[in-house]
Amino acid sequence: MESLDYISKNDYLKRYFEDIPREELRKHCRLVIYKPQNIIVKKGEHINFIGIIISGRALLVNEFANGNAYILKELKLLSIIGDIEIVSLAKGSACTIESIDECMLIAVDDKVFLKWMRLYHGFALHVARRLAERFHESSNENGKYMVYNSNYSLISTIINVVDNITGGKTAENFNIRLKNTRKELGERIGLNERTINRLLQKLKNENLISINSGKIYINNFQLQKLKELKENLQMDRRKI
């Protein structure tokens, strides 16, 4: 399918692009596919397009000079990449964005995106509303995010690793050993090994993972419980 086909079949995308002539959409919208664990945008690099996720998921990761990296959130269907940087004329992306699984985007070059905002006031309003919604959500989450960040990030990482191994087929019985070392887990979410060990021990005590001879295992029942816990943490953060 072409990008215009995806836009025509999705109510949100139809509203978002409703002021843009179809010929403009056909000419300037393109489909871009990223394989699992590919870098879509690197922190600090100039981003010259906006991208709307139409399948797959990605991680928003903030990296710091000391080498620590923190998973800020998971980007899912219809998440938009690059609009903040382009509208604000930022010189580089504030975060790194990495695909979790195969991720498909509808992409529009930055110059075209800005031209559409100047020419089509309804489109500019949609963009402004979307940015405002994201800033409002971010403000609401900041306080609770600091409390849950470490635990939530580790749980999210474990879920993503298992989902990549199983292909999301959680209905089947399995007992998987995570090949990631504690150091690797810590580097991915910006935590030292001591903190990782403490969080893993807590998950083990709650029967959310198993540890045997220092190796981390998780079965389908535990994975489901981890996903429920992740959702509960997300709900708690939204109450702030």
Report pLDDT digits (tens) over 135-149: 766 655 544 444 456
Q: How far is CA 164 from CA 20, 95, 106, 160, 170, in A?
A: 37, 23, 23, 6, 11
Backbone angles phi, psi at 28, to 5 degrees: -110, -15
| Residue 99, helix vs strand vs coil | strand
For 67-81, the pLDDT digits (tens) are 666 677 789 899 999
Q: What is the pLDDT of residue 160?
A: 84
Higher per-residue confidence, 62 vs 28 = 28
**Interval 152-170: pLDDT, tens:** 888 988 988 888 787 766 6
Its pTM stands at 0.61
Structure tokens belonging to residue 238: 């939204």
Q: What percentage of the chain has pLDDT greater than the value 70?
A: 86
Whole-number pLDDT of residue 161: 85
The pLDDT tens digits of the residues spanning 14-45 come to: 999 999 999 999 999 999 999 999 999 999 89
Using CA atoms, how far residue 101 sits from 63, 75, 157, in Å, is: 21, 11, 13
Token look-up 């975060």 returns 95
Which among 140, 105, 98 has a CA at the least distance from the CA of 13?
Answer: 105
Distance, C-alpha 123 to centroid of its chain: 24
Output the six-digit token pair for 158: 């474990």
* Distance of alpha carbon 43 from alpha carbon 41, whole angstroms: 7
- The Cα–Cα gap between 133 and 137 comes to 6
Mean pLDDT of 106-113: 97
Q: Rounded CA gap, 60 and 38, in Å?
A: 12
- More confident position, 146 or 172: 172
Average pLDDT of the chain to the nearest whole number: 85
Packing angle of the helix pair 182-189, 121-166 (nearest 10 deg): 170
The alpha carbon of 134 is separated from its chain's Cα centroid by a whole number of angstroms, namely 14
pLDDT digits (tens, 9 = 90+) for 206-223: 999 999 998 999 998 999
pLDDT of residue 190: 73
